[in-house]
Structure formats: structure tokens, C-alpha cells
Amino acid sequence: MEKEIDIFENVLEYISRDVRRILKAIPEDVKGRVEEIRLRNGSPLNIYLDGKDFFITKASKMSRLSHEAYIVDGEDINNSFQLITNHSVYAFSEDIRKGYITIRGGHRVGIGGKVVYNKEGIEFINTISSLNIRIARQKKGVSNHLLPYLIDKVMNPYNTLIISPPQCGKTTLLRDIVRNLSNGKSTVRGFKISLIDERSELAGVYNGIPQLDVGIRTDVLDGCLKADGIMMVIRAMSPDIIAVDEIGGAEDIRAIYEALRAGIKLIATIHGKDLEDIRYRLNLSRIIEERIFQRYIILDRSQGVGTIREILEGDKFTNIYRGKRSLDGSY
């Protein structure tokens, strides 16, 4: 827990003085569990943890009543934004156009404000009105017990798709699977992995260095569109495995077929409740019917964040997993 508290304290360095003072005094056990800090101009100070949101008062108390909360103002937003961009907004202009900035530690700051377009698309976001700081909390080892389900008898990985509703731990699980398969274990050799990290969430690259452990044999394409990244690593990186978060677009599926033709294995995630929820989507029905994925991991929150509800084998879609286990190890 001490390490988790330190992570929270490090994030506070990027928040304006008044808000930092308030958040620094919240209970220690809460600090280690905060997933998001939300600053909205003219709105209550808001944190998100354990699947719920809470307002924070000026006295650093947690409340479900918005009228009791500290009200974030424009100065709080502007001062925080200056800290996040290291007082050089221009240097982060490309990231700002994408709507988020990755800060030291691999934490991602989402940006809300006035979007300005030019002929090529989004030019900038100005008049910043909200910031969402998503705290990256790596959970090493959460995939250890899954490895026997993801490797065949001759020690080759299965094509695997993780299906999960939002904020149920799919990115955390994917990251740890990548780390384990990249490093290798006593019973599993290490694989060359190309990680396509379009939203900078998986590796949390900051100044060219992954802030989160994705393994010693992993090459990261940070901020790259999934379809572009898949094609790039097929040509240049000779991976054993390509890992990618949140597939679904037609271009993604076309690139996946190119990877399969090259003999490369895939580990991917997708938003969804279960297999039935995704199998008739326009771009996904074909890869499901053609049995492209040999394993489907289904997550929910029934026993906590990242509860592994089922692991389906990819031919008859039968459940081969027994019991339920969440990413924090509870059952």
C-alpha cells in the first residue's frame, strides 16, 4: 500500500497548490486506491475509486454531496495545466491535439476544452475547462495463474482476446500478460512482442522510456494508430506476438489478418460484456466465426475490478476456467 500511496503523492506534483493541499490530506487508505482525479472549471473536486465517485471538501473529507465539495476554478485548471506541460504548452501541442498528455510515471491526463479545427483536422484545444488525471497502477503478477490457459502444449501462445466493459481491468491484465510472455518464466520461454500503444496507456511512455513494466523483449510503438502500428511491426520488427488494446475498426481487422498471414500471434482487448455482445458487430463477426482467436477472457466486476468470469476456448466457445478471481487476488 505504501508504494500505491507514493504513486498518488507523485501525481499531486502536477496539480495546482490549493487542490494539491486538499488531496494531500485525504485518508491514506484512499490515496492508494484513487483511479482518477477530475478537475472541472466551476464544478466540485471529484475523485473516482472502487467503481464509485466521491466529492472532496475543502477540509479533505469525502462526500457524496456535491454542495459540500471544494469548487475547482479556472486558476486551478490553468495552474495544473502549466505543471502538466512543464510551462511549455507548445512542446506538448501534438499530444494536446490527441486530447491527452502522458506525464512521468505513465499517468494519462485527459483534456477538455474548446476544440479548434483546421483543414487537416484538430489543430488545438484551448480554453482548457477540465482535466482527468488517470492514475496508472501496475499490478504485477495478476496474469501469472492465467499463463497455462494462454500457451499450448508445445509452448506457443494462443491468439487471445480479452473482452471487458470499461474500467474492469482489461488494460491492466493485458499489460501483465505482455510482461510475463516477454520476460518468460520457468515454464514459458520469452517471446518478442510488439506493443501497439495508441493511447499511451499500456507502457506509459514518457520521454521515450516506458514507465510501466511491459517486459524485456517488448518493443513499443507509442501513440500509433493500431492498424498502422500492426503493419509497421510486421515489416520491421519480426515479432512473435503483437499486443494491442481496444480493437474494433475495419482497418484494425484488416491489419490483424495481415499479421495472421505472417504467422504472428495476437493478444488484444475489446470493449464488451461477453462474447454474445461482440460477435455480431459489423467488423468482428468474421473473425469470431472463423475461429481466429483461440482463447477469450471475459472480465467483469462481480468480485471486484477485473474479475475473470470465464475463459472460453475458441472452437466451441466452452468455458475452461473454474472459479472467479479478481485482479487484486480476491475470489
Chain segment 70-111, per-residue pLDDT in tens: 999 999 999 999 999 999 998 899 889 989 999 999 999 999
- pTM confidence score: 0.87
Residues of the chain with CATH 3.30.450.90: 2-134
Specify the fold of 2-134: Beta-Lactamase (3.30.450)
Specify the fold of 144-313: Rossmann fold (3.40.50)
Q: How far is CA 269 from CA 161, 266, 283, in A?
A: 5, 10, 14
Dump strand ranges (E) for the chain. 36-40, 46-49, 52-56, 62-63, 100-103, 107-118, 121-134, 160-164, 193-197, 205-206, 209-210, 218-222, 241-244, 265-271, 295-300, 307-313
Q: Residue 325: what pLDDT?
A: 63
Q: Residue 90: what pLDDT?
A: 87
Q: Residue 65: what pLDDT?
A: 95
Which residue ranges of the chain lie beneath pLDDT 70? Answer: 1-2, 323-331
Residues of the chain with CATH 3.40.50.300: 144-313
Q: Residue 192: what pLDDT?
A: 98
Burial class (CB in 10 A: 0-12, 13-18, 19+), 209: exposed
Q: Residue 2: what pLDDT?
A: 59
CA dist 321 and 219 (Å) reads 31
Q: Residue 301: what pLDDT?
A: 83
